[in-house]
Amino acid sequence: MADRFLMIDGMSFLFRAYYASSWGGSIRQTTSGLYTNAVYGFTKMMLDYVDLVKPTHVVAAWDVASRETLLRTQWYDGYKSNRVEPPLELIPQFDLVKDVTAAFAVPNIGLPGYEGDDILGTLSTRIADAGHEVIIASGDYDSLQLVSDKVHVKILKNGGKHEHYTPENMHELRGIHPHQVVDFKALQGDASDCIPGCPGIGEKTAIKLIGEHGSLAGIYENLTALTPKMRAKLEEHREQVFISQKLATILRDVPVELNLDEARWQYDENTAIAKCEELEFGPTLIRRVG
């Protein structure tokens, strides 16, 4: 019988939890002054998705490098160059959240130079190839390139909601198929990651071009079929478009290891409860743990 793996995009969960709880200006702290709002929200979200997905295994994937040490920064110096320092209240919670996941016996997986997406891509591919089912929970639409028969993606939305993507509904919801996600981003770019794309091509045009020609390669093979204006844009920015394609591609061969037995969703209640009590999570959340 196939197992079901819930793979959590750790940074997506943590940042979403932080901003969802801090927008009103009241940031949760322990009596000793330790900030815990992001970690509390992360823990609640993790338990919510465990209840929803009912996994046999849970894994958390993390970014573990600064922008300057990322592999993609070596390919393109401007990659993520617009990133600002995280809020001071969040910084100590980066390590604290991993203490919490460890208390629930959830493996924290990351590798210097790589991003959480690359960890998700590598492990989900490996686990799916072994015949198991994978559900990725992330706030990042890049993850949609990983959708397959064995890998489904839940994109986090505001208010605790999500969008569930499968190979069957992907085109209906986004206008493209999973294998076209990278080429779509290569054309449109991504301002949040400073991926340049092709100036003058937005979401609708990128979807139209990919729908008509199937892929980025197909578009460039058929430039003569495009309007002179569109052809000129794509020719002028060809190099930029293809570096954008490389930047947008989630790696699936990162040298990380995961012992599947260690990812099984089973934890010592006393250990988990003790950590939640230490962080003063309160009775409502602690009741869910035990």
- The answer to whether 21 and 158 are in contact (CB under 8 A) is no
**Do 129 and 191 share a structural domain?**
no
- The answer to whether 67 and 81 are in contact (CB under 8 A) is yes
**Do 89 and 38 share a structural domain?**
yes
Q: Give the model's confidence band at 69: pLDDT under 50 very low, under 70 low, under 90 confident, else very high.
A: confident
Domain at 217, CATH number: 1.10.150.20
Q: What pLDDT, on the 0 to 100 scale, is given for residue 25? A: 73
| Closest to 90 measured CA to CA, from 11, 21, 9, 18 | 18
**Do 256 and 208 share a structural domain?**
no
**Do 133 and 222 share a structural domain?**
no
**Do 31 and 96 share a structural domain?**
yes
Q: Is the pLDDT of residue 24 over 80?
A: no
Considering just the CA atoms, what is the radius of gyration of the chain in Å? 20
Q: Using CB atoms within 10 A of its CB, is residue 189 exposed (0-12), middle (13-18) or buried (19+)? A: buried
Q: What pLDDT, on the 0 to 100 scale, is given for residue 2? A: 79
Q: Give the model's confidence band at 65: pLDDT under 50 very low, under 70 low, under 90 confident, else very high.
A: low
Q: What pLDDT, on the 0 to 100 scale, is given for residue 225? A: 95
The pTM of this model reads: 0.95
Report the pLDDT averaged over residues 70-85. 89
**Do 100 and 36 share a structural domain?**
yes
**Do 149 and 237 share a structural domain?**
no
Q: Is the pLDDT of residue 272 over 70?
A: yes
| Residue 184 falls in which region: left (phi positive, over 0), alpha (psi -120 to 50) or beta | alpha
Q: How many domains is the chain built from?
A: 2
Distance CA 139, CA 11 (A): 9
**Do 107 and 44 share a structural domain?**
yes
The 10s digit of each residue's pLDDT in 152-210 is 999 999 888 999 999 999 999 999 999 999 999 999 999 989 999 999 999 999 999 99
Instruction: Please give the residue that has the higher pLDDT: either 253 or 159.
Output: 253
Q: What pLDDT, on the 0 to 100 scale, is given for residue 107? A: 98
The 10s digit of each residue's pLDDT in 82-111 is 888 899 999 999 999 999 999 999 999 999
Q: How many CB atoms lie within 10 A of CB 3?
A: 17
How far from chain centre, in Å, is Cα 126?
17
Show Cβ contacts of residue 102 under 8 Å, excluding neighbours closer than 6 positions. Answer: 108
Q: What pLDDT, on the 0 to 100 scale, is given for residue 21? A: 87
Domain at 162, CATH number: 3.40.50.1010
Report the pLDDT averaged over residues 10-32. 90
As a whole number, the mean pLDDT across the chain is 95
What is the extent of the structural domain holding 232? 178-248
**Do 270 and 126 share a structural domain?**
yes
**Do 228 and 137 share a structural domain?**
no
Q: What pLDDT, on the 0 to 100 scale, is given for residue 148? A: 98
- Specify the pairing of strand 4-9 against strand 57-61: parallel
**Do 150 and 74 share a structural domain?**
yes
**Do 191 and 154 share a structural domain?**
no
- Tell me which DSSP letter residue 24 carries: T
Q: Is the pLDDT of residue 1 over 80?
A: no
Say which residue the tokens 């569109």 belong to: 230
